[in-house]
Structure 1
Amino acid sequence: MSTEERRTLAWHETLEIHELVAFQSNGLIKLKKMIKEVNDPDLREIYRKSILDIEGNIKELIPFYSLAPAGREEEWRSDLGFYSGDLLGLLKTSVRNYSIAITETATPSLRNVLTNHLLKAIKGHEQIFNYMYKKGYYPSYDLNALLSNDLKIANKALQMK
């Protein structure tokens, strides 16, 4: 079967789209809240352009959800879900960034500091993931619910003024 004939995305593609939409939706909500406080016209224009770009990204990715290997439906997450998801994204990005930084480090004392920071980020990620899973904010073993949550957050972010 050729790629054009496939009717669903692969699981790994679906999960990558999930990560991109979830991360960008949370970021979009923050940018839309923060732009109101940006007084510098140049910085405000950069924010405006970033908001438009991220909105475009989300809008282009959302149609791929219909190609996911399962259907979706679930109730909207509370602000606690947003706040915990934002922290999860921060800690996940911290793990990635510290891992990369360690590979670029030649100074042993700096490597030790970065390694300690990495371990704290890993532990923090574990704590917030467990919190989100327990509260039902991150149904990581239920792809249908996971993708449904993404779509609801993305739509909320796109509809914000």
Structure 2
Amino acid sequence: MDQDQRQRTLAWHETLELHELVAFNSIGLVKVKKGLREIQDPQLQTIYQQTIRELEMSLQELLQFYPLAPHPGESSEYRQYGDSFLAGDLLAFAKASVRNYAVAITETATPALREVLLKQLNQSVRGHARIYNYMYQKGLYPSYNLNLLLQNDVNLARRAMS
């Protein structure tokens, strides 16, 4: 692949990472916007407002790369329901949980703590599989349809920014 082609098309692996970031930031943006309504402290409100602006800018910047993503097959309409958002939020939490336990284990010197963390890591992996399988079976996470996966991200990001 020559340099011109690389500049017009994202690689598959970076497209999937882009997808993960857009989905994670979109869910976070919705949660931060909802949380802002509950905050009484003016300083914390300012922090939340800055976070909202930064997340919106991040999404706008990331979405600019979507036209460069590879597009196999055909795309279809995104199904956006309340359960869809909540399931996606749980999936993002499950992924973060697996990563956090894996990192914590590499920092653990005490064997008894390592065993507990390993047990909880395995539990987190099973939890991730449980929510992923649910979402896949319900058509909420089309992991084998890249076009639909990316269109879902765009729709979620737009909804979060509106």
Q: Which residue of 2 aligns with 1:18?
A: 19
Q: Gaps (5+ residues) in structure 2?
A: none
Could you say if the C-alpha distance between residues 65 and 73 of structure 1 is closer, same or farther in structure 2, counting changes exceeding 3 Å? farther
Shift of 1:48: 0.7
Shift of 1:94: 0.4
The equivalences for 1:85-104 within 5 A come to 85-104=88-107
Q: Determine the C-alpha separation between the residues in 2 that align with 1:76 and 1:96.
A: 28
Shift of 1:5: 5.8
Q: State the AA in 2 paired with 1:7.
A: R
* Cα deviation 1:66-92 (Å, max 9, x = unaligned): 111117442332111100000000010
Q: Which residue of 1 aligns with 2:153?
A: 150
Query: What's the TM-score, normalizing by structure 2?
Result: 0.94
Q: State the AA in 2 paired with 1:59.
A: Q
Q: Gaps (5+ residues) in structure 1?
A: none
Q: Determine the C-alpha separation between the residues in 1 that align with 2:51 and 2:154.
A: 20
Query: What's the TM-score, normalizing by structure 1?
Result: 0.95
The question of 1:46 aligning with 2:47 is answered yes
Q: Determine the C-alpha separation between the residues in 1 that align with 2:131 and 2:46.
A: 34
Instruction: Report if aligned partners of 2:79, 2:140 keep a CA contact under 8 Å in 1.
Output: no
Local SS of the residue matching 1:6: helix
Q: Determine the C-alpha separation between the residues in 2 that align with 1:61 and 1:153.
A: 13
Q: How many aligned positions are there?
A: 159
Q: Which residue of 2 aligns with 1:56?
A: 57
Q: Which residue of 2 aligns with 1:138?
A: 141
Instruction: Report if aligned partners of 2:90, 2:131 keep a CA contact under 8 Å in 1.
Output: yes
Q: CA RMSD in A?
A: 1.3
Shift of 1:28: 0.3
Could you say if the C-alpha distance between residues 82 and 2 of structure 1 is closer, same or farther in structure 2, counting changes exceeding 3 Å? same
* Cα deviation 1:108-128 (Å, max 9, x = unaligned): 111111111111110000000
* Cα deviation 1:89-142 (Å, max 9, x = unaligned): 001000000000000000011111111111111000000000000000000000
Identity of aligned residues (%): 52
Instruction: Report if aligned partners of 2:26, 2:156 keep a CA contact under 8 Å in 1.
Output: yes
Instruction: Report if aligned partners of 1:81, 1:137 keep a CA contact under 8 Å in 2.
Output: yes
Q: Which residue of 1 aligns with 2:82?
A: 79
